[in-house]
Structure 1
Amino acid sequence: MDDMTQLREMRADAPVPDRAALAPGRQRLTDALAGGRRGLRLRADWRVASIGAAAAITAAALLTTQIGGGPGSSHGATAASPLSLHSPAEVLNRAADALEKQEAPAEPRPDQWIYTRTKIAAPEPKGGSGAKVKVTYDPDSWVPYDNSAAAKNGKDDDYRTSQQVYRAAEKLPDDPAQLLKKVRSFYPTGHTAESPPEAEAQHTFRAMGLMVEAYPIAPDALARIYRALATVPGVRVTDHLVKDAAGREAIAITRKEDGSHEQREILINPRDYSYAGLRFVAAEDYEVKSPFTAGPPGTYKAGDVLNSEARVMAAVVDAKGQKP
């Protein structure tokens, strides 16, 4: 049995997967089992972006001890102006305000590469099975900025090159409703039995998540995306900082998956508001009674982390294998 088949069978008792389950945002969590990776974000000349170490000159001044990290935190910050984590609109609009003050670096050259380093956390066993899932992946990835061949010949209909996303994001309108419409068109929903269509709100949140995780993306474009993301029906923010797969604190922008027990979480660095990672978390209590081949059986509680991936570094480099 190949790794991807085994992963799918782990939770075969869950509702039939919808488009969101097949989308690139979630696929990044499972592609690691087959060694696959995708390109992705950073500072002044895109040359180095260590999440938690990238410059946070303006954003750090906007944060409060309410979301500041304690000892050992790599994302936390303290500041004079309070920022609550009860309203996604407040969080995302404040993030947009900070991003709009940042200078946009020049677009990478077509011959450059996108380097990313990723951390994936294996789900914990449930129900006393003791069967811990082994996740094998290469944390380092190099993808051509202009990866046209993969875009044309890849198996994923939603795949877009870093260059395509960067340029599409630059053209997104200021009006949130129009922006959401453009993003849905850029990442269309399914139209087959294997990839059925999504309801508009779920389609929007999935597609917006893909835009947020894009690397590189100009700060002003990300600001427009954040402002529009706050208007998606059903979007929420977790009222406390959560831990990403690398153990760092992050803001979780969430939405419950339609027809599912889980929610998708877009993780944002609370210092500079860059993309930090992606999680799927149990949105409610539920029980898995399937045999082991369908995944570790047991009782899942609301808040249990089902899958988690963190991006710990991203950079534009001049050659495959080069690191910042």
Structure 2
Amino acid sequence: MDDLRLLQQVGQEIPLATPDQLAPTRDRILAAMTPTPAASPAPTTIRREARRRWRFVFGGVAAAGLAAAIVSVFVLAPDRVGGDVPAAKADARQVLRDAAAAALRLPDVAPRPDQFIYTRSQEGRNLHESWLSVDGTRDGLIRTTSADGKTEDLHPGCRDGRRNAERGNLVVPGRTEPCTPEPNYLDLPTDAAAMGAYLAEHRSGEPGSVNAAGKDVMDLGYGYLRPQSRAALYEAAAAVPGLRAVENVKDGAGRPGIGITWPTQGGTGDIVLVFDAKSYAFLGVSGSSAVLALSVVDKVGQTG
């Protein structure tokens, strides 16, 4: 059973922390993420890794850009224990903290370097399946099923600094090209303060860009994360200013849920992340895409 299905079945009994218990974490986040005048420009690691990882699977979503910048933040404790507030009165930060509590109930599976991250997703009427190498050295596969039929794109791994050359989505027989392995699993921080610092350090948007922060949380949510890292991501996201809960939204597969939105720049419309109203599993992006399955497998073609 993959983690998304399991999350649909778990309860909401685990109590969340009190404001007094959260105070030290809040202080650490503020200390870690407040920029200093002498700070050097942060690298763009998240943008580079995320764009390649999802460029075939979520073309429309990845094209929007991936970034993170969470600065001058604070953590709010939910008014009630997770799951007690109905969707009609949901608070954006509380939904994210409920999602963090729910993530901690998932099985903790540490991917091995020789394994693959399997994702089944939907974007419009297209169904995508991908098997991407955990450490980036093994050949993966991306399969798309649409009204026009089924296509398969090889995703060459990088071994000893070389990988099979591609022209378009086809591998050129007998030719290789220089490369650097790009892992498709990130061993991310496991607490909110460290996750906030990681996002700030690896931002590719401008400091303080709420729009960029939302996009990065979106991208990392699509990927495979171990429970503590996923919980830390949602807790850090809960500290982003300007969040808003949206009722009666649906992901790209038509599944209903609670939406969390960050305002975009330039009047292009809000990005709405959709969470299941009962399990608080991340479902996808409203009107755009949906994650249907996410798991660690031993070989290409295996689904769980």
Match of 2:12 in 1: 59
Q: How does 1:72-83 map to 2 (within 5 A)?
A: 81-83=84-86
Identity within the alignment, %: 23
Quote the Cα distance in structure 1 between the aligned partners of 2:271 and 2:195.
Answer: 21
Residues 61 and 81 of structure 1, relative CA distance in 2, 3 Å threshold: farther
Residues 246 and 277 of structure 1, relative CA distance in 2, 3 Å threshold: same
Number of matched pairs: 200
1:174 aligned partner, one-letter code: A
Of the three residues 91, 97, 102, the one matched with 2:101 is 97
Residues 270 and 218 of structure 1, relative CA distance in 2, 3 Å threshold: farther
Shift of 1:104: 4.4
8 A contact 1:180–1:204 mirrored in 2: no
Of the three residues 112, 123, 131, the one matched with 1:142 is 131
Quote the Cα distance in structure 2 between the aligned partners of 1:246 and 1:112.
Answer: 28
Going by fraction, where is strand more abundant, 1 or 2?
2
Secondary structure of 1:203 counterpart:
helix
Match of 1:273 in 2: 280
Structure 1 runs of 4+ aligned residues shifted over 6 Å read: 150-154
Residues 150 and 310 of structure 1, relative CA distance in 2, 3 Å threshold: farther
Secondary structure of 2:235 counterpart:
helix
Quote the Cα distance in structure 2 between the aligned partners of 1:275 and 1:105.
Answer: 17
8 A contact 1:245–1:310 mirrored in 2: yes
Residues 150 and 254 of structure 1, relative CA distance in 2, 3 Å threshold: farther
1:140 aligned partner, one-letter code: E
Query: Is residue 253 of structure 2 the alignment partner of residue 246 of structure 1?
Result: yes
Shift of 1:310: 0.7
Deviations 1:191-228 (A, max 9, x none): xxxxxx5752222222222222221x122222222122
Q: How does 1:5-84 map to 2 (within 5 A)?
A: 48-49=2-3, 51=4, 54-59=7-12, 81-84=84-87
Residues 183 and 268 of structure 1, relative CA distance in 2, 3 Å threshold: same
Quote the Cα distance in structure 2 between the aligned partners of 1:278 and 1:115.
Answer: 19
TM-score, length basis structure 2: 0.56
Could you tell me which runs of 5 or more consecutive residues in structure 2 were left unpaired when the two chains were aligned. Answer: 16-81, 138-156, 167-180
Quote the Cα distance in structure 2 between the aligned partners of 1:144 and 1:182.
Answer: 23
Residues 150 and 237 of structure 1, relative CA distance in 2, 3 Å threshold: farther
Of the three residues 62, 86, 89, the one matched with 2:90 is 86
